[in-house]
Copies of this chain bind each other. A is one copy, B any other.
Amino acid sequence: MILNNNKNEFEISINGVSVIKHSSENPFIFIGKGEANYDMYRGNFKITDYLEERIPLKNFEVTKNEKNHFEINLFDHHQLKLTLIGKQKEGKTKIYFSSEDKFDNRIWIRIVAEEDEKIYGCGEQLSYFNLRGKNFPLWTSEPGVGRNKNTYTTWQADVKDKAGGDYYNTNYPEPTYISTRKYYCHLESTAYLDFDFRNKKFHELQCWNIPEFILFETGKTFLDIQEKLTANFGRQPKLPEWVYDGLILGLQGGTEVVLDKLNKALDAGIKVSGVWCQDWQGKRITSFGKRLNWNWKWSPEEYPNLDVEIKKLKERGIKFLGYINPYVIEGYDLYEEAKANGYLATKLDGSDYTVDFGEFYCGVVDFTNPKACEWYKNVIKTNLIDFGLDGWMADFGEYLPTDCKLSNGLSAEVMHNAWPAMWAKINYEAVKEAGKLEEIVYFMRAGFTGTQKYCTLIWAGDQSVDFSLDDGLASVIPAALSVGMTGNGLSHSDIGGYTSLHGNKRNRELLLRWAEMAAFTPVMRTHEGNRPDDNYQHDGDIGAMKFFARITDIYTSLKPYMKTLVEENTKYGIPVQRPIFFHYENDLRSYDIKYQYLLGEDLLVAPVHQEYMEKWNVYLPEDNWVHLWTGEEYTGGDYEVSARLGYPPVFYKKNSKWKSLFQEIGAK
């Protein structure tokens, strides 16, 4: 870290990478005041800001400039507004902010940019992978249905439910990015943020409070940066061994139905590692579809005899997974217990606050209250782990209303984004305290800074059951890549998608295309969707069953390879699904490829994400590649390859040490 300055300007550079340049003509910080309005409807937010002031801090004085340490005062004219303290430690440069004006609640920080620079990360981004050219509001929320204002689905969702979403809406935003200028940057704040990568000369990071610090760390390669980034945020534990042994089959409907469907799947040759029953605690019917009853414990009515059957299943090598989220439904015992103990967020006047989740209302467990956390951890330990669950969907985390009162006294506007990682931490600690890390897997869609360390597996959220780029099959590819570059190298998605609304129904082709892609991701798991009867399912016909049998055979055959990748992720934070440029940094074209990925260093996967395709266009970086299914050899370039159902375009490196495994799989 070097601070160079004269009377009129200063520059901060880190290992030769200039990150901040300031002069009175081009100040790097603006500070101001705004009045936000947050309008939440079922997890969809309309956020507007009345901006009252935005003032450039032109004048400065460097009050200290030592090795690995500096202090700068920034002024509006002669009025001290902000003090920056820069510290370098273990290769990380942190610049701490302290504000001198208690009314300032907006800040804009400009980071040096170059015209051809590209940007990745910012959590899970579903529409863009390279983020340059757009701005990205960072606020955990429902990602939207359709996510593209030009689609009829989005328009319908907007008009009927305010739920259409846009390119930037995501369950998992994070103020952390990686630049092709070979550094990562993180802004430490949980307030509303907007990272704007539209300007040629600077990135502008907007934050709705004064952040604690901004962090920079450079690296020689992307692998190096990735390792450093994950060293900073923490890394995911390994996946349990059993995960690789087959599909996690998403089923519903009670013990009898589930066992029957499981047996039929096994009979058809489908490799199943576990059944995932989100309705294990009972369900309710709403106009959206079948919904769950949010009182987190086994429902003997819905799942008679499950306490016995769960053990029998384990003996057969089949795990049982359930479901939980951080809300408790009004009128049931968990809600009553939490309310009696003051474990729920309240209205500002202290009265009860329940949140509308779509025709039912729930209390929000107040994770800023350590006692509430302990209580909820115990719910997980007792009702989930002790009951025998081997995993669960740890759903939601995005719905903290901004107008509730929290135990720690902080504004819910500032805690809203913090919630998903707090929710992850509760799951993590419950599992860890039960001694079950790397045995149990829970998967989450919501995230924020801190999720990396506490979430065992990301799931890409609720896609529409279609082939749309912004909300369908394709969208989970940039999602995995961006969330991976944010430090979450283990992710997966609902095979077949989830959301059937406004006439959208999952067809057979979508389900099978999604399944064949999922075989080349860390985890395979199906979801029946919000309206199971409207959606094609794995057992829709005997051909589909056979398809799943073969595809799960391929997935399980990858186990030795996949395990090494997952270990790499746990050890170095290198994601299992990687952008091509992670291993081909000189291939300039690869930096804009968002619908292909490397599965480890040795496999390149180009999922078919459109309908009716017999062939598919792929781009290969310069190397010697072998097409998995035909054995045909390729070097770098553009190719049209065969891509019939069940044979997605996958290539392995000719000199891979896993060659014989891949050849064996290719023959399946």
Residue A253 at the chain B interface, CB threshold 8 Å: no
- Closest residue of chain B to A54, judged by CB? B54
Pick the residue among B51, B54, B76, B159 that contacts A150 (CB under 8 A): B159
Mark out the residues of chain A between 55 and 78 whose CB falls within 8 Å of any chain B CB in the assembled complex: 55-56, 76-78
* Complex Cα gap A51–B135 (Å): 14
Main secondary structure of the interface of A (DSSP, over half): strand
Residue A241 at the chain B interface, CB threshold 8 Å: no
Mark out the residues of chain A between 475 and 519 whose CB falls within 8 Å of any chain B CB in the assembled complex: none
Q: Looking at the assembled complex, report how far the CB atom of A268 sits from the nearest CB atom of chain B, in whole angstroms.
A: 44
**Contact assessment for A54 and B32 in the assembled complex, using a CB-CB cutoff below 8 Å:** yes
Residue A539 at the chain B interface, CB threshold 8 Å: no
Residue A79 at the chain B interface, CB threshold 8 Å: yes
Chain B residues positioned under 8 Å from A150 (CB to CB): 159
Residue A591 at the chain B interface, CB threshold 8 Å: no
Q: Looking at the assembled complex, report how far the CB atom of A166 sits from the nearest CB atom of chain B, in whole angstroms.
A: 13
Residue A619 at the chain B interface, CB threshold 8 Å: no
**A76-B77, A155-B155 are contacts. A51–B54 as well, Cβ < 8 Å?**
yes
Residue A375 at the chain B interface, CB threshold 8 Å: no
Mark out the residues of chain A between 24 and 44 whose CB falls within 8 Å of any chain B CB in the assembled complex: 30, 32
Contact with B along A61-102 (1 / 0, CB 8 A): 000000000000000111100000000000000000000000
- Closest residue of chain B to A108, judged by CB? B52
Pick the residue among B53, B76, B149 that contacts A54 (CB under 8 A): B53
Chain B residues positioned under 8 Å from A51 (CB to CB): 51, 54
Chain B residues positioned under 8 Å from A155 (CB to CB): 152, 155
Q: How large is the interface on A (under 10, 10 to 19, 20 to 34, 35 or more residues)?
A: 10 to 19
Chain B residues positioned under 8 Å from A77 (CB to CB): 76-79
Chain B residues positioned under 8 Å from A53 (CB to CB): 30, 54-56
Q: Looking at the assembled complex, report how far the CB atom of A317 sits from the nearest CB atom of chain B, in whole angstroms.
A: 51
How many copies of this chain?
2
Chain B residues positioned under 8 Å from A76 (CB to CB): 77
Chain B residues positioned under 8 Å from A152 (CB to CB): 155
* Complex Cα gap A159–B148 (Å): 11
* Complex Cα gap A55–B33 (Å): 10
* Complex Cα gap A77–B58 (Å): 13
**Contact assessment for A54 and B56 in the assembled complex, using a CB-CB cutoff below 8 Å:** no
Q: Looking at the assembled complex, report how far the CB atom of A231 sits from the nearest CB atom of chain B, in whole angstroms.
A: 36
* Complex Cα gap A54–B51 (Å): 8
* Complex Cα gap A155–B152 (Å): 9
Q: Looking at the assembled complex, report how far the CB atom of A547 sits from the nearest CB atom of chain B, in whole angstroms.
A: 36
Contact with B along A605-635 (1 / 0, CB 8 A): 0000000000000000000000000000000
Q: Looking at the assembled complex, report how far the CB atom of A165 sits from the nearest CB atom of chain B, in whole angstroms.
A: 15
- Closest residue of chain B to A35, judged by CB? B199
Q: Looking at the assembled complex, report how far the CB atom of A53 sits from the nearest CB atom of chain B, in whole angstroms.
A: 6
* Complex Cα gap A658–B30 (Å): 66
Chain B residues positioned under 8 Å from A30 (CB to CB): 52-53
Q: Looking at the assembled complex, report how far the CB atom of A110 sits from the nearest CB atom of chain B, in whole angstroms.
A: 10
* Complex Cα gap A152–B158 (Å): 12
- Closest residue of chain B to A199, judged by CB? B50
- Closest residue of chain B to A159, judged by CB? B150
Chain B residues positioned under 8 Å from A158 (CB to CB): 149
**A77-B78, A77-B79 are contacts. A55–B55 as well, Cβ < 8 Å?**
yes
Q: Give 15 pairs: A residue, B residue, CB < 8 Å, sorted on A.
A: A30-B52, A30-B53, A32-B54, A51-B54, A52-B54, A52-B56, A53-B54, A53-B56, A54-B55, A55-B55, A77-B77, A77-B78, A77-B79, A149-B159, A152-B155
Q: With contacts A32-B54, A52-B54, A149-B158 known, what are 16 further pairs, Cβ within 8 A?
A: A30-B52, A30-B53, A51-B51, A51-B54, A52-B56, A53-B54, A53-B55, A53-B56, A54-B54, A54-B55, A55-B55, A76-B77, A77-B77, A77-B78, A149-B159, A150-B159
6 tightest Cβ-Cβ pairs between the two chains A and B: A77-B77, A54-B54, A155-B155, A150-B159, A55-B55, A53-B54
